[in-house]
Copies of this chain bind each other. A is one copy, B any other.
Amino acid sequence: MKKLQLLLVWVFVFTCAVNAQQLKSPNGNITMSFALNANGTPTYSLQYKQKDVVKTSKLGLELKDDKKSLLSDFTIADTKTATFDETWKPVWGEVNAIRNHYNELAVTLVQKEIDRKILIRFRLFDEGLGFRYEFPSQKNLTYFVVKEEKTEFAMAGDHTAFWIPGDYDTQEYDYNTTKLSEIRALGEKARTANVSQQGFSPTGVQTSLMMKTNEGLYLNIHEAALLNYPCMHLNLDDRTMTFQSWLTPDAKGDKGYVQVPFNTPWRTVMVSDDARDIVASKMIYNLNEPSKIKDVSWIKPVKYMGVWWEMITGKSTWAYTDDYPTVELGITDYNKAKPNGKHGATTANVKKYIDFAAKNGFDAVLVEGWNVGWEDWFGHLKDYVFDFVTPYPDFNVQELHAYAKAKGIKLIMHHETSSSVRNYERHIDTAYKFMKANGYDAVKSGYVGNILPVGENHYSQWIINHYQYAIEKAADYHIMVNAHEAVRPTGIARTYPNLIGNESARGTEYQAFGGSKPNHVTILPFTRLLGGPMDYTPGIFEMDISKFSPNNNSHVNSTLANQLALYLTLYSPLQMAADMPEHYERFPDAFQFIKDVAVDWDDSKYLEAEPGQYLTVARKAKGTGKWFLGSVNGDNVRTSNITLDFLEKGKKYVATIYADTKETNYKTNPQAYNIRKITVTSKSKLAQFCAAAGGYAISFEEIK
């Protein structure tokens, strides 16, 4: 049981009513200014060390069927400031204690003529700003429909951006690194194929959006606590370099049904002149509510393997048979079907994974393709696509439950919904009960394909509500959730720490779908990971997929050492060794790192960080005090220069370094690596060669 530790809370409150207000970050580096303009429209601006970060930008919401909307004619009725400083202990995380320290400004605005009020709450942290709209209970504002949220983020220059195209249905894109002014030109070319996708503007991009200014400032725009509201995208006016919020619409094109009282998600702008501050920031989590799950003893980090990569690569199949053009659950008789001979989730194959996982100290094994329906699961907006409880004839639930239990392995359930969301909700209680009855306490859920009900999108309010429903219901059953293709996380794992993972970005699977950009993993920590952990599924040792899946010519754009480093650089309490046992058996010395590496941490130190180029982080394992280090590299060969000053002073350690060699090449020679042991102290320096798409990993063992 973790307990919230309240270290220090000071609150100053005062009230005034002037038209402009300033707020400073606790360390004084950031200044936020709030003002009403001549139209009574709220505006804000942000400066970092006297440099403009956000120029004067408007705030407000356009309402449907409401002439005035919540855009102008405001006067300030009240302002309150406060300071908050508290340290809390996450259930799992990169660190064992998180400081939540900010200065706050809460401005109450009224439209006098129609007697309506809203409140804009700003929280200024050392790493950036969060703000949201609050609608307190009142007579003249009870329900409204959002036509568009009109939150602006006016950039101070033509920054370099690490962006993926705005899309209502997927985030599974490679990142583009361009000037803001170049987004439009790349436009739809950035929208690579996905089974469900819908753009909205040639300059639409997604959050979390990472940027770097010419002056060397690192900026990030994202949101926090996305609950019961559409997901926010950003649309760039590339004449003024101003982003405006662009919410995900529903089937009618509306952008949110709001019942007052209500608070929107937080809109966040992080800023620093040190990129490490961005990746280390816990601001997104701090803007979320504390855990609503009281007993968290059942929530545990997981290192797992899975019957998965063999299907992703095409070596085996989720489906059991090729006999049927369509499947009707409950009617199609699988016992009469001829097995296709390539089904992955057979009892025998799962036992092989269980054996390997148990022998090598893993916690769990994921099995996909175990339940009936996979012959016909996709692309037809089929309603009753899966029932989540009926196994294929060759998958023995009870036998595997007993077998895994005897070996100390947990099985991880897989619930692919095919985005038939109603069908999933109809079965969710039964499915969760089935899991608990058969020893499963974690589920990987999937939302592949277009959403049912038709007209809704993966990121519209209706479906955001569903993801949350699934998380909260899972918590009732003490089930951990790893949701794929769901909306990007926005720190709600603080409130619901059973959300131990999400996909919500381009994961390792794309290495088997043609490959990802070599520097992809150097951007994810600055974007996708800021809102919560990603089930990226690292650990691929065989980069040439055609070697074991002849019809797949994809190549994994990564060195083997890079794959090891990912266990550190892509933080997650849920880490997979995604490759197949036979590939690990070929490289037992490298595999040792995956066996050794922890998945939960007392502390983390970011040593080097540059989006798109490199990231180096050292982490101290929870409980054991053992340090591990990972470093990933982007497109160009480089030498990582670090000091090991995170190690305890006065102690000696053996550092086992898993690294690229000079011969390593992610395309032609990715499996070249070197493992060496050296003795180090907190004073040691390391200059480590990294291949393109390479890197290194280190485990430290104290010499006692």
Interface residues of A (CB under 8 A from B): 137-139, 142-143, 250-252, 254, 257, 259-261, 325-326, 328, 376, 380-383, 422, 425-426, 429, 453-456, 462, 465, 469
Q: Which residues of B have CB within 8 Å of A260?
A: 325-326
9 examples of A-B residue contacts, CB within 8 angstroms = A250-B455, A251-B453, A251-B454, A252-B454, A252-B455, A254-B454, A260-B325, A429-B429, A453-B455
Which B-chain residue is minimally distant from A461 (CB atoms)?
B383
- What are the 4 closest A-B residue pairs judged by CB atoms, nearest first? A251-B455, A251-B251, A143-B380, A453-B453
Given A259-B382, A382-B259, A426-B469, A325 and B139 touching (CB < 8 A)?
yes
CA distance A325 to B144 in the complex (A): 13
Q: Which residue of chain B lies nearest to A426 when distances are taken between CB atoms in the complex?
A: B425
Known contacts A250-B454, A251-B455, A453-B462, then 4 further A-B pairs from the complex at CB < 8 Å, ordered by chain A residue: A257-B380, A426-B469, A453-B453, A453-B456
Contacts A257-B380, A429-B429; is A138 near B325 (CB within 8 Å)? yes
Q: Tell me the complex Cα distance, A254–B380, Å.
A: 13
CA–CA, A470 to B680, complex, Å? 68
Contacting pair B382 A143 (CB below 8 A): yes
A328 with B455: in contact, given A251-B251, A429-B429, A465-B383 (CB under 8 Å)? Answer: no
Contact B251 A326 (CB under 8 A): no
> Are A326's CB and B455's CB within 8 A?
no
Which residues of B are found within 8 Å of A426, using beta-carbon distances? 425, 469
CA distance A422 to B138 in the complex (A): 28
Residue contact A137 to B325, C-beta cutoff 8 Å:
yes
CB distance from A463 to the nearest CB of B (A): 10
Q: Which residues of B contact A259 (CB under 8 A)?
A: 326, 328, 380, 382
**Cα–Cα, bound, A186→B424 (Å):** 45
Residue of B nearest to A382 (CB): B259
Cα-based distance from A395 to B383 in the complex (angstroms): 39
Query: Which of chain B's residues have a CB closer than 8 A to the CB of A381?
Result: 257
Question: Hey, which chain B residues are within 8 Å of A250, CB to CB?
Answer: 453-455
A453 CB contacts on chain B under 8 angstroms: 250-251, 453, 455-456, 462
Q: Which residues of B contact A376 (CB under 8 A)?
A: 142
A455–B381 alpha-carbon span in the complex (Å): 16
Q: How far, in whole Å, are A325 and B138 apart by their CA atoms in the complex?
A: 7
Residue of B nearest to A380 (CB): B143
Alpha-carbon separation in the docked complex, A411 to B251 (Å): 39
